[in-house]
Amino acid sequence: MMHILEKKHKILKVEEKSVKEKNIAIMLGVMCFLLTVGICVQVRTVTSNASKMGRTYAENELRDSVLKWKEKYDLAYQKLETKEVKLEKLRETVSTSSESSETAKADLEKNNMALGYSEVIGPGITIILKDGELNSNKLDVSSYLVHYSDLVEVINALKNAGAEAISVNGQRIVNTTAISCAGNIIRVNNEKVGVPFVINAIGSKEKLYGALTMLGGYIDKLKDDGVDVDITQQNSITIPKYDGVYKYEYATKAE
C-alpha cells in the first residue's frame, strides 16, 4: 500500500513537472512570438525610416542640383542679355557708320566731280575751232588763226553760261588749269594742244548753245576774223577726269 502511494506521489510530481515545463514552453513560445512580432515591427519601422531618409536625401540632392542648374541658367541668361545689348549697340554703330560712309562717299563723289577728278557724262555742246583759210583781202594774217586767248575767251563764256565740266582736246579744265602760249605752241595743263581745237562742255545744251551763238558774242568775232567755227548740241558727251595734281603754293587752310 505504501509502495503504491509512493508511486502515485512520484507520478504526480512528474505530472506537475511536466505541466510546469509545458507552461514554461508556452510562455517561451509566447515570448518568442511577441519578440518576433516586435522585431518585425522594428524592422519595418527601421526600413520605413531608412526609406524616408533615403527619399529625403535624394530630394535634397535633387533640390541642390536644380538650384545649381538654375543658378547657371540665370548667369547664362544674364550674359546673353549683356551680349544682346552689345550686339544691338554694334548694329546701331554699324548702321550709323554705314549711313555716314554712304554720305561721305556721296560727298566725295560730288567733290571729285567738282574738282575734275571723276570722268563725267551728260548733255552739252561741242565747239570745233580751226584756223581759217588764207584771205588776201586781210592784211593781218594772224587774225584767222586760233590763239590761246581765243580758247580762254570761249572757256570763260561757257563757264558764265553754267557749264559744269569743260575739256579742250581731252584736257579737263579745272580751277588751276593754265592755258599758255610759247611761240606757235599752246599748252593746256602743261600739255601741248593743236588745231583743230575740240572744246566739249556739259550743261544745258540750249543755254550753252544760246550763249555761244548770241549776236555780238565772241564766236561772232572769231567768225568775222575768218576762224572756222562749228558748234553742235549733243545729247551725251563724255569728259575725262583731270590727271594732274592740285598744288597750292600760297593758299593754306584757315584755322
CATH topology classification for 122-239: Alpha-Beta Plaits (3.30.70)
Amino acid identity, position 21 = E
Cα separations (Å) of 222 from 179, 186, 191, 192?
Answer: 18, 18, 24, 22
Residue 92 has pLDDT above 80, yes or no: no
pLDDT in tens, 200-237: 999 999 999 999 999 888 999 999 888 999 999 999 99
State the average pLDDT over residues 137-141.
61
Give the integer Cα–Cα distance in Å for 7 and 167. Answer: 165
63-92: buried (b, 16+ CB within 10 Å) or exposed (e) per residue? eeeeeeeeeeeeeeeeeeeeeeeeeeeeee
Percent of the chain with pLDDT over 90: 31
Q: Across residues 246-252, what is the average pLDDT?
A: 70
DSSP state of 215: T
Mean pLDDT of the chain: 76
Q: Is the pTM of this model over 0.85?
A: no
pLDDT at 127: 97
* pLDDT given for residue 4 in this prediction: 47
Give the pLDDT confidence score for residue 210 in this predicted structure.
Answer: 93
Least confident of 118-122, 172-176, 178-182, 250-254: 250-254
Cβ atoms of 176 and 246 closer than 8 Å = yes
The amino acid at 133: E
What is the per-residue pLDDT for 208? 95
Phi/psi region, residue 244 (left: phi>0; alpha: psi -120 to 50; beta: rest), is beta
Q: At what angle do helices 205-213 and 218-225 cross, to 10 degrees?
A: 50
Q: Where are the alpha helices (DSSP H) in the chain?
A: 2-115, 148-160, 205-213, 218-225
pLDDT for the residue numbered 252: 74
Which of these, 212, 211, 231, 203, lies nearest to 123 by C-alpha position? 203
56 C-beta neighbours (distance < 10 Å), count: 10
SS3 state at 146: coil
The pLDDT value given to residue 211: 93
Give whole-number Cα distances, 243 to 165, 170, 172, 177, in Å: 14, 11, 8, 11
CA distance 112 to 119: 9
Q: Is the dihedral of CA 83, 88, 93, 94 positive or negative?
A: positive
pLDDT band at 55 (very low <50, low <70, confident <90, very high): low
Q: Enumerate the domain spans of the chain.
A: 122-239
122 in Cβ contact with 238 (< 8 Å) = no
> Which pLDDT score is estimated for 156?
93
Q: What whole-number distance in Å separates Cα of residue 129 and Cα of residue 113? A: 26
Read off the C-alpha cell for 92.
546701331
* pLDDT digit string, tens, across residues 94-114: 666 656 666 666 666 766 676
Looking at residue 200, its pLDDT comes to 97
